[in-house]
Amino acid sequence: MRVPTTEYRIALIDELTIEVDDNADITTVTVTGEVDFGNADRLRTVFLDLTGGTANVGIDLSGVAFMDSTALGVVIAAKKELEENGRRLIITALSPRARRIVEIAGLVEFLGV
């Protein structure tokens, strides 16, 4: 008797979109999708590019479906870097999942959420 087999397919899709909107008073970074150790460097690169500017930076995480501690570390590092240069990182929106990771990490007050 032949036992039926099940075929499993796992699709690893990089579902991260980062958009930057430069205005005179604030530069807004809108993040959509999943941010984790596999793609957090893309977000880190965006923030590194923005640290040399003069505007405050807003980050919109309302479209984030998943965020791990690596991604949170990138946000924390960007906040510290900007503050050292007399600027601010302002979290303008959080998805429920992004809010949860911030709460679990105990960073609600630190990030001004």
Task: Tell whether 51 is covered by a domain.
Answer: yes
Q: What is the CATH number of the domain that holds 69?
A: 3.30.750.24
- Taking the C-alpha atoms of residue 6 and residue 90, their distance in angstroms, rounded to an integer, is 48
Tokens of 21: 């909107």
pLDDT, tens digit, for every residue of 37-55? 989 999 999 998 887 777 8
Domain count, the chain: 1
Residue 31 has pLDDT above 90, yes or no: yes
Is 75:107 a contact under the CB 8 Å cutoff?
A: no
pTM given for the model? 0.82
Owner of token pair 């998943």: 66
Tell me the residue range of the domain where 50 lies: 16-111
Tokens of 92: 């303008």
Which of the two residues, 71 and 9, has the higher pLDDT score? 71
Q: Which of 25, 80, 24, 33 is nearest to 60 (CA)?
A: 33
Task: Tell whether 11 is covered by a domain.
Answer: no
